[in-house]
């Protein structure tokens, strides 16, 4: 079974880091920051998992490493190769704990490839991850601002959804719950018009999706953004909220019950780092 550090590193890579997509899309200042950037930043743990953050002229996508991400090696020092993925910067981590320290703002990655683009890491990429950490580290004062409340809710909802397959695959208390999320789709939606996330549950895996899929097997409706924010932060009495209608559950309630047990585990891994900014500056 995976260690605490390993599970936490996977959550940082696959549940927290994808929020950069939303930060670039919804924060005009951050979108402008990478408006002229075409670059891939690849993060890899030695003998462990990795992911890639791709920037393409004001758009950001985070996902598995592909063969195109290797294209820069043909051109030398991150130059664009035949794969067409643009330059690639590779950041290496000696262990899961090493990566977690970076997300806590207490460690630095090892630049492995793309040295001519380290300036981007030290400036734009650091600004982006700092802004993401800002949105993921709420205070009552910040949440009083509607724009911040909306962004924090979106990112927290995304983190929760993308944490589910990681925990089902690697957390010792969640692995036995896998059978409860083996068939069907669960949608969590903030009324009236979103945001929403969906979880497509199959026999072999669970696929998180940003947005609302149609015809879900189970549906969780949250009254509004403040209600959703309290729900995700564990500040809401869900029994009372269900009675008042602030939280509505439709369809296969057993799937929602299982999902709730999984989501209860997220804080165990991510709360220790919640007050720290992830600042992946390059080691000198």
54 within 8 A of 40, measured Cβ to Cβ? yes
CA–CA separation, 158 and 197 (whole Å): 7
The pLDDT tens digits of the residues spanning 16-56 come to 999 999 999 999 999 999 999 999 999 999 999 999 999 99
pLDDT of residue 70: 57
**92: in domain:** yes
Same domain (yes/no): 9, 126: yes
Same domain (yes/no): 55, 90: yes
Asked if pLDDT for residue 85 goes beyond 60, the answer is no
218 within 8 A of 187, measured Cβ to Cβ? yes
The pLDDT tens digits of the residues spanning 125-167 come to 999 999 999 999 999 999 999 999 999 999 999 999 999 999 9
CATH of the domain at 262: 3.30.1050.10
CA–CA separation, 23 and 129 (whole Å): 9
Same domain (yes/no): 182, 225: yes
Q: Which helix (H) or strand (E) holds 243?
A: helix 238-244
**65: in domain:** yes
**What is the pLDDT confidence band of residue 86, given thresholds at 50, 70 and 90?**
low
For residue 233, how many C-alpha atoms fall within 13 Å in the half-sphere facing its CB? 19
Same domain (yes/no): 237, 164: yes
Residue with tokens 């590779």: 90
pLDDT of residue 19: 97
Same domain (yes/no): 120, 150: no
Domain total for the chain? Answer: 2
176: number of Cβ within 10 Å: 11
Look up the domain containing 83 and give its range: 4-135
* Nearest Cα residue to 173 out of 273, 270, 264: 264
Same domain (yes/no): 41, 83: yes
pLDDT of residue 262: 96
């Amino acid at each position: 079974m995976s260690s605490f550090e390993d599970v936490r590193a996977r959550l940082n890579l696959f549940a927290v880091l994808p929020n950069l997509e939303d930060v670039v899309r919804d924060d005009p200042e951050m979108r402008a920051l990478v408006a002229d950037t075409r670059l891939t930043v690849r993060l890899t743990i030695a003998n462990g998992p990795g992911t890639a953050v791709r920037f393409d002229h004001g758009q950001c996508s985070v996902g598995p490493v592909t063969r195109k991400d290797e294209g820069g090696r043909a051109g030398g020092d991150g130059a664009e190769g035949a794969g067409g993925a643009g330059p690639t910067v590779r950041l290496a981590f000696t262990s899961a704990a090493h990566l977690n320290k970076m997300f806590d703002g207490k460690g630095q990655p090892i630049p492995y490839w793309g040295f001519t683009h380290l300036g981007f890491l030290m400036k734009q990429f650091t600004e982006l991850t700092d802004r993401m950490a800002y949105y993921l580290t709420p205070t009552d004062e910040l949440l009083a601002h509607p724009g911040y409340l909306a962004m924090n809710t979106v990112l927290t909802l995304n983190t929760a959804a993308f944490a589910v397959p990681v925990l089902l695959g690697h957390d010792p208390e969640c692995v036995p719950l896998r059978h409860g999320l083996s068939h069907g789709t669960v949608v969590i939606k903030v009324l009236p018009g979103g945001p929403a996330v969906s979880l497509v549950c199959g026999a072999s895996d669970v696929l998180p999706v940003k947005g609302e899929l149609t015809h879900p097997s189970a549906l969780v409706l949250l009254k509004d953004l403040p209600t959703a924010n309290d729900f995700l932060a564990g500040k809401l009495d869900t029994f009372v909220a269900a009675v008042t209608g602030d939280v509505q559950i439709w369809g296969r309630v057993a799937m929602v019950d299982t999902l709730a047990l999984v989501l209860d585990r997220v804080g165990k891994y991510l709360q220790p780092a919640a007050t720290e900014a992830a600042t992946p500056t390059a080691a000198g």
